[in-house]
Amino acid sequence: MASSSRNNKKYDVFVSFRGEDTRDNFTSHLYSALCRQNIQTFIDDQLNRGDEISESLANAIEASAISVIVFSEGYASSRWCLDELVKILECKKDYVQIVIPVFYRVDPSDVRNQTGSFGDSFSKLEEKLKENTEKLRSWRNALKEAASLSGFHSLNIRRESDLTNEVVNHILKRLDEVFQPRDNKNQLVGVESTVEEIESLLGVESKGVYASGIWGIGGIGKTTIARAIFDKISGDFEGSCFLENVREESQRPGGLACLRQKLLSNLLKDKSAMPYIDLNFRRLSRMKVLIVFDDVTCFSQLESLMGSLDWLTPVSRIILTTRNKQVLRNWGVSKIYEMEALEYHHALELFSRHAFKQNHPDVVYKELSSKVMKYAQGVPLALKVLGCFLYKREKELWESAIDKLQRILHPSILEVLKISYDGLDDKEKNIFLDVLVSFKVSM
């Protein structure tokens, strides 16, 4: 119930805080930073509150994927804040909501045990409600539980700007976990080691501008791998951009200019960033950025989009996917990963996920599935296209379809092969045709 409802959340983040303590400092900075990252954040900044949290506020907590609790010195003096806290922990239990405490100028042990200046604030409220022992007990238990969670301590991160950045980056990573697309599971089969190898090529923990290339035929899974790596590590960078379909977009009128605009806007988080202003690249020269150029076909595209690597910081990283290895050589990319076809058992699993909506073929279709494996040759796009085409088809239709596949290529696969062929030089085209002919004969 809990995990399945996460993707239906109205808000990404709910922020619980004591307005008098943090409204004009940390909480305002945190809220602004979250908004800049396009993180849908609920923050209740009403100055006049009643004794109980409203139903709409309780609903907002339930409708959030993450709750951030900003514990400050006066937090426990507000029964409103304490009731929010109780509700948040209920959602943690009932809906597996992620809870992130931030200890702003208070010690976690003081929150946990209601001691120190934080305890003094709670004692004043306790004196007013000393007859309501059940309410007080629930608050104490909530404070103890929340203060025991892993969070952020402002006394360990002295600069408020650094604290804000660390909290926001952590939220981004947790949101990636919450809203990871379910269809990624259908795409990422047998590629864990590939992701690790390319990460190693990038040298994420090292300094020095690392540009890595992912090279292979169309449909082999270059974009899928690049996206998986981007989603995994982009949170560690100040700016990031995934430029998809560079080949296709650059063929449109003004396409390269639009791509450059998108590149600068995403990296600088500034929609008004102009593509031909040197100041923008000067700003980027001070940032740690991650860029993916997907489906690059010629050197001039990269030149138009970003010139050279000179303006990048030593901790920035670039990933290029291409069908043309020469593009990578021309740009001086020496760290190149060649994509290979999936191994048989992984190919069969990927095909089965699309053809049967499970990790293995139905027994009745096992032999026919093996024939499809021979045709698809471990190419992920072919496996997906064929799996979707054969989904819920009768056995007789499978046999007919496989017979046709042996004589004519499926249109989607034919298009992929055509694009791959067009990107080759004359010598490579001849080799490609020889391989294709021999493959058809072997079928």
What counts of helices (H) and strands (E) characterise the chain? 22, 10
Q: Which residues pair with 435 in a beta bridge?
A: none
Beta bridge partners of 70: 102
Integer Cα distance of 386 and 356 in angstroms: 11
Long-range pairs for 21-26 at CB < 8 Å and ≥24 separation?
21/72, 21/73, 21/74, 21/75, 21/104, 22/70, 22/72, 22/104, 25/160, 26/70, 26/102, 26/104, 26/154, 26/160, 26/163, 26/164
Task: Using the structure block, give the residue that is written with the tokens 């499809």.
Answer: 372
Strand order in the sheet with 41-43: 41-43, 11-16, 64-71, 98-103, 152-153
Both structure tokens of 10 = 């109205």
* Residue 90 falls in the annotated catalytic set: no
Output DSSP code: residue 4. Answer: G
Query: What is the b/e burial string over 86-111, where b = at least 16 CB atoms within 10 angstroms of the residue's CB?
Result: bbbbebbeebebbbbbbbbbbbbebb
What is the chain's length? 443
Among 283, 273, 332, CA closest to 312: 283
Distance set, CA 338 to CA 12, 342, 396 (Å): 38, 13, 38
Residue 348 near residue 317, CB atoms below 8 Å: no
DSSP 92-155: HHHH--EEEEEESSS-HHHHHHT-HHHHHHHHHHHHHTTT-HHHHHHHHHHHHHHHTS--EETT
What are the tokens at 133? 């022992």
Alpha carbon distance 87, 236 (integer Å): 32
Distance CA 205, CA 166 (A): 18
Exactly one of 55, 62, 73, 84 is catalytic; name it.
84
Query: Using CA atoms in the order 200, 202, 204, 209, what is the torsion angle rounded to 10 degrees?
Result: 150
Nearest to 420 by CA among 202, 222, 262: 222
* CA–CA distance, 342 with 353 (Å, rounded to integer): 15
Q: Among all residues, which ones are annotated catalytic?
A: 84
